[in-house]
Structure 1
Amino acid sequence: MNVLLIGSGGREHALAWKLSQSPLCETLYCAPGNAGTAEVAETVVLDVADHRAVIDFCRVTAIGLVVVGNEAPLVAGLVDDLAAAGIKAFGPTREAARLEGSKAFTKAICDETGAPTADYARFDAAEPALAYVRSRGAPIVVKYDGLAAGKGVVVATTLAQAEEAVRAMLAEPGDALVIEDFLEGEEVSLFALCDGTTALPLASAQDHKRAFDGDTGPNTGGMGAYSPAPVLTPALQARAMAEIVEPTLAAMRARGTAFVGVLYAGLMIGADGPKLVEYNVRFGDPEAQVLMPRLDGDLLAAMLAACEGRLDEVSLGWRDEVALVVTLAANGYPGAVEKGSEIRGLDRASALPGVRVFHAGTKRDGERLLAAGGRVLSVVGTGADVAQARERAYAGVDAVDWPDGFCRRDIGWRALAR
C-alpha cells in the first residue's frame, strides 16, 4: 500500500526509516519531510494544515494509510477529516488528542479514573494563580494548558520563578495554565500502541529535556534519550499500564472518544511507584529515534492493526541492545537560532559501527546539507549496554563537522550512575 507520513522532525525520519522496511509499504510519501526523510520517502510539498489538500493528495495517490507524526495536526482534527473522507489514518481524533492538547483535560481524566498524579489547580487569570502559587510554595510546576512544542513547562525552584511563569503564560486573552505540585523521583517515558480497547506496551525510554549538561538550562523539545530505561522495571511498567494507561483508555472509550494511536505516558517514578506527569498522543522526539532501531517487527502492520481494532493479534519484539541518541541543536536553541549553516561529515559519522544519523531540521541546497531548524540532527548509537551505545553516539557526534551546533555531553548519565 501507499503510505503518507505527516511531519518533518527527527521522529518522522526515524518512523519513515522503519515504515519503509515493511513489506506492506509500496510507496512512502512524507509531508513536509526533511533532507533525511527524502532518503527513504518521496517528499511532498503539502500544507498539512490544509486538510482538504491532504485529502485530495491521498485520493490522487491512493494512500492506504496516513501516519500523523506530530501533535499539532492531531489536535487540529486531521484524523477526523480524513476519516470523514473514508481515508484510514493512524492517530487519535481531535477529542482524543485533548490528552495532549489540554493539561487540564488530562488531569480531569486522572480525577475520573483515580490515576496517580500530582495535585493541581487550573487557572485562566493571573491573580488567583499567583495566590495559589504563594499558598503552595516552591518548588512547584507551572504548565501552559495547550500545545507548546515541549517548552510550555516551568519547574520553578523559587516563588519568583513561578510568578514569572504564571504572568508569561497568562499574557493573552484565552490563555490558561495548570499549576501542580512538584513530584520527587525519576522521569521516564512509556509508550503504548492503542486501538481504542487494547493497549500494547512498547519499550521504555528516558529523555533529557534541559538544554545543558547537568540537567541545567531551559526546557527544550529534548536533547537526547536512551532505551530501555532501567528505572522502569517490568513490575513498575505493569503497574503503570494497570493504574494509568488502561484506565485512561477505558475512560476515553466510555466518553465515546476512543483513543487510537500512540499514547505516550510521561511518568515520575517515586518511592510509592509511578505517577503520571503528562500524556502525549504521538511518539516522542527524540524517543522515537531510540525506539525504532530497537523495534524488531513490522511497524506498519502494527499501526494498521491499531486502526482496525486488531491489536490483540499483534506482538512486537525488541532487540536486546541499548540505543542512545544525542541531539545536535543550533546555537541559541531553544531560543532564536540562525538557519542556513552548512553541515558536513554525515557520511563519515554514519559509517561508524553502531551509528545512525536521523535528520530533524535539515534541508538540501544542491549537494550541500544545511541547518534549517532548532534541533537539527539526532545521532544514535547502539550497543550491548549504555556505556557502549553512548560511546558510539558521541563518536558519531564528533565525526560531524558543524561548528554552528552544540549538544549535551552527558546523555545517559542516570543509567551510567546506577
Structure 2
Amino acid sequence: MKVLVVGGGGREHAIIWSLSKSPKVTELYCAPGNGGIAALAQCVPIPATDVEAMTAWAKEHAIDFVVVAPDDPLALGMVDALEAAGIPAFGPRANAAVIEASKVFSKGLMEQYHIPTAKYRAFTGLEEALAYIRQEGAPIVVKADGLALGKGVVVAQTVEEAEAAARSMMAEGKFGAAGSQVVIEECMTGPEVTVLCFVDGEHLSPMPPSRDHKRALDHDQGPNTGGMGAISPAPGYTPELAERCMAEIFRPTVAALKAEGRPFQGVLYFGLMLTPGGPKVVEYNARFGDPECQAVLSLLETDLLDIMLACRNGTLDRLDIRWKDAAACCLVLASGGYPGSYAKGYPITGLEEAGKSAVVFHAGTARESDGTIVTSGGRVLGVTAVGKDLEEAITGAYAAAGKISFQDMHFRTDIGRTV
C-alpha cells in the first residue's frame, strides 16, 4: 500500500517509523515531514493544514491510505475531504475532532453524559470571566477554547495570574480566535496520566498508560509546553484504576460521541488526573499525544497499519493488539528559549552515536543541501529508549541524549522522576 502521513513533528516521525516496519507498506510519504523523517519516507512540501492541496496530491499520486496525525488538519476536516475524494484515511472527521478543537464542546459533552471532570464555566466576555475568577479564588485553571499548540492552558496560583491569563487570551489575542472564548475550571490535584485509545467509532482498545511532562523546567516549573518528555507505563495506574476509567470515562465518551452523531475513529487521547475523588478528565485530544506517541509506539508489537485500517473499517474488536512487556522513556531536547522565542538553524551533532542505543525521533529539524541536520523548531528531538523497566528506559534515554549537541540545547533532567 502507498501510505501518506500528514504532519512533520516527532509524533509523525514515530508513526512513520512504526509504519515502515509493516510488510504491507510498499511506499511511504510524509507531508511536510522533517530532516529525520526523510530517511524513512519521501517528504512532500505541502503544509499540514492545506486540505485542498493535500487531497489533490493524494489523489494524483494514487495514495491508498492517509494518516492525518496533527490536530489542526483534523479540525479543518481533512479526513472528510479525503474520504469524499475516495481516499481512505485514519483520524476522526471534523465533527468528532471538535472534542479537542473546542474545550467548551468537550466540557459540555462531559457534563451532559456525566463523565467525571473538573467543575467549570465557559465565558465569551472578559469582565464576566474576571468576576468568576475573583469569586472562585486561586489556584484556578484558565483554558483557551480552541487549539493553541498545547500552550493554551494556564494553571494560575494566584487570582492576579489568572486574571492576566484571561486578559492575554480574550483581550490581547494571544492565541487568536482560539482564545476568544475561555473555560475557567477548578484546579484538580493528583498525578496525571495519559491513556491513548484506538477507536473505531464503537469499540476501543487502550494503549499502555503514559505520563507527559508539560512544564518547561525541572520540578514542574516554568511555562506549559507541548511536552518535554514522556514515560510509559505510568506508575500508579493500577489494573483497578484502568477498569474504573474504562467504565466511567473511556466507554462513556465513545458512546456519547456516537449518540451525538459524531462517531470517533482514530486515536482518542484521554488526559486524566487521579484525584482523591477518583479519576477525572483533564482534557481530550483527537490524535496521538506528542511526545507520548514516541514512548507508547516504541512498545507496540502489532502492525500499526493493521490497527489503523481496523479503526477506519470498524473492526477493531476483531484485532488482538500486543504490546511489549517493557518500559519506554522519551526525552525532548528543545531549543533554548522554548516555548518562547528561539533561534533556528543550529547544526546538530551526535545523532548517529545516539541512535546506536536509542531511537532519535526528529521533531523540529531540517536537512540542508549538504546533508547536515539543523534545528528548525522549539522541540527539536525526542530521544526514546526502551528498557526492561522504567529505570532502565530513563537511564538509556539520558545516556543517548548525552551524545547529542546543538547550540543552546535545553532539556529537563527529571523526566520520569516526578509525579
Tell me the TM-score normalised to structure 2 length.
Answer: 0.97
1:379 aligned partner, one-letter code: V
Superposition map of 1:32-181 within 5 A: 32-171=32-171, 172=173, 175-181=180-186
Aligned equivalent of 1:183: 188
Sequence identity (%): 49
In the TM superposition, what is the alpha-carbon distance from 1:51 to its structure 2 partner?
2.2
The alignment of Structure 1 onto Structure 2 pairs a total of residues equal to: 413
Work out whether residues 351 and 360 of structure 2, in 8 Å CA contact, stay in contact via their aligned partners in 1. Answer: yes
Kept in 1: contact 2:51–2:76 (CA 8 A): no
The match for 2:226 is 221
Alignment match of 2:279 (pick from 274, 278, 288): 274
Shift of 1:52: 2.5
The 8 Å contact of residues 7 and 31 in structure 1, kept in 2 or not, is answered as yes
* 1:283 to partner: Cα distance: 0.3
- 2:359 alignment partner, one of 332, 356, 360: 356
| Contact persistence 2:51–2:73 (CA under 8 A) | no
Range moving further from structure 2, 144-153 or 314-323: 314-323
2:413 to 405, 409, 413: 409
Is 1:293 matched up with 2:301? no
More displaced stretch, 222-231 vs 58-67: 58-67
CA distance in 1, matches of 2:274, 2:49: 37
What SS is found at the alignment partner of 1:29? strand
What SS does the corresponding residue of 2:332 show, helix, strand or coil? strand
What CA distance in whole angstroms lies between the structure 2 residues aligned with 1:127 and 1:59?
49
CA distance in 2, matches of 1:250, 1:80: 21
Q: Does 1:305 align with 2:340?
A: no
Q: Alpha-carbon deviations, 1:377-413, whole Å to 9, x = none?
A: 0011211122111111111111002232110000011
Partner of 2:372: 368
Q: Which amino acid in 2 is paired with 1:284? A: G
1:396 and 2:400 are equivalent in the alignment: yes
Distance, in Å, in 2 between the alignment partners of 1:357 and 1:167 is: 39
One-letter amino acid of the structure 2 residue matched with residue 111 of structure 1: E
1:19-73: CA deviation from partner (whole Å, max 9, x where unpaired): 1111111101000001111111111112333322222211222211110111000
CA distances 1:159-210 after superposition (whole Å, capped 9, x unpaired) = 0100000101102496000000000111110011111110111111001000
CA distance in 2, matches of 1:51, 1:408: 36
* TM-score, scaled to structure 1: 0.97
Partner SS, residue 64 of structure 2: strand
1:342 to 326, 338, 347: 347
Cα separation, 1, equivalents of 2:261 and 2:138: 39
Q: Does 1:203 align with 2:208?
A: yes
**Which structure 1 residue ranges, 5 or more long, are not aligned?**
none
- 2:12 corresponds in structure 1 to 12
- In 1, are the aligned partners of 2:219 and 2:418 still within 8 Å (CA)? no
Which has the higher mean CA deviation after the structures are superposed, 49-58 or 254-263?
A: 49-58
* Alignment of 1:237 onto 2:257: no
Please give the alpha-carbon distance, in whole angstroms, between the structure 2 residues aligned to 1:281 and 1:109: 14
* CA distance in 1: counterparts of 2:129 and 2:303, whole angstroms: 47
- In the alignment, residue 10 of structure 2 is paired with which amino acid? G
